[in-house]
């Protein structure tokens, strides 16, 4: 591509407990990709016990040098104009996974993902949900069997206190992205 960086849509949903871990992963990704930050309504607007939304927004925008897309209207051109080469949802909540599995497009992230997938480009999911092996298990399985959807390898979060929870190994995000660009699921998945 003549030295031009590929564009990575970096979508963030409301698994607030992971923000402290995922936001630092943006900096090394910026060295390899041109990052387009996208946040769900909840991720963009809700203050939680893990921090204020304005603080997270500021860190993301300073790291990427880009304004965050945080509306459906802002996300809609991503697919129509083919703006991303690859996209990752990190973290991807169970709510977002369920919406993707069922074709529900009612947040900036689901709009971006739907548009991106219609172009036949890879979408990488870094799951983070307490109900992954309960109510959301069927949705995750459906997504794992969907063309152009790949997962960052994941594990049980805390098998004793949260026996149905799964969390992606965020340290493998870039490797999973590169594998998805080659049309392959990074292994081992679990």
pLDDT digits (tens, 9 = 90+) for 110-163: 999 999 999 999 999 999 999 889 999 999 999 999 999 999 999 998 889 999
Whether residue 180 is predicted with pLDDT greater than 80 in this model: the reply is yes
Q: Are 18 and 128 in contact (CB under 8 A)?
A: yes
Which distant-in-sequence residues (6+ apart) come within 8 Å of 153 by Cβ? Answer: 168, 169, 172, 176, 186, 187, 188, 189, 190
pLDDT digits (tens, 9 = 90+) for 43-54: 999 999 999 999
pLDDT value of position 2? 54
> Exposed e or buried b for every residue in 121-146, given b needs 16+ CB within 10 A?
bbbbbbbbbbbbbeebeebbeebeee
Query: What's the whole-number average pLDDT of the chain?
Result: 96
Angle at 22 between CA 28 and CA 88, to 5 degrees: 80
What's the rounded mean pLDDT across residues 64-88? 97
pLDDT value of position 46? 94
What letter would DSSP give residue 171? G
pTM here?
0.95
Quote the percentage of the chain above a pLDDT of 90: 94
Torsion of CA 165, 166, 171, 173, to 10 degrees: -140
pLDDT digits (tens, 9 = 90+) for 33-42: 999 999 999 9
Q: Are 91 and 15 in contact (CB under 8 A)?
A: yes
Quote the percentage of the chain above a pLDDT of 70: 99
Nearest to 11 by CA among 117, 84, 87: 87
Which distant-in-sequence residues (6+ apart) come within 8 Å of 130 by Cβ? Answer: 94, 157, 162, 164, 165
pLDDT value of position 1? 45
pLDDT value of position 187? 97
What's the rounded mean pLDDT across residues 6-15? 97
The fold for domain 6-181 equals Rossmann fold (3.40.50)
């Amino acid at each position: 591509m003549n030295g031009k960086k590929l564009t990575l849509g970096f979508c963030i949903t409301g698994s607030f407990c992971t923000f402290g871990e995922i936001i630092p992963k943006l900096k090394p990704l910026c060295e390899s990709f041109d990052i387009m930050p996208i946040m769900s309504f909840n991720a963009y607007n809700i203050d939680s016990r893990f921090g204020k939304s304005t603080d997270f927004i500021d860190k993301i925008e300073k790291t990427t040098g880009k304004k965050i897309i945080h509306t459906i209207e802002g996300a809609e051109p991503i697919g129509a104009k083919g703006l991303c080469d690859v996209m990752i949802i990190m973290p991807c909540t169970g709510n977002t996974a369920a919406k993707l599995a069922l074709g529900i497009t009612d947040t900036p992230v689901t709009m971006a993902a739907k548009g991106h997938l219609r172009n036949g480009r890879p979408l990488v999911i870094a799951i983070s949900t307490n109900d992954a092996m309960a109510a959301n298990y069927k949705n995750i399985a459906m997504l794992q069997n969907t063309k152009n959807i790949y997962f960052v390898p994941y594990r049980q979060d805390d098998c004793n206190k949260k026996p149905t929870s799964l969390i992606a190994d965020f340290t493998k995000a870039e490797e999973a992205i590169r594998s998805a660009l080659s049309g392959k699921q990074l292994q081992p998945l679990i």
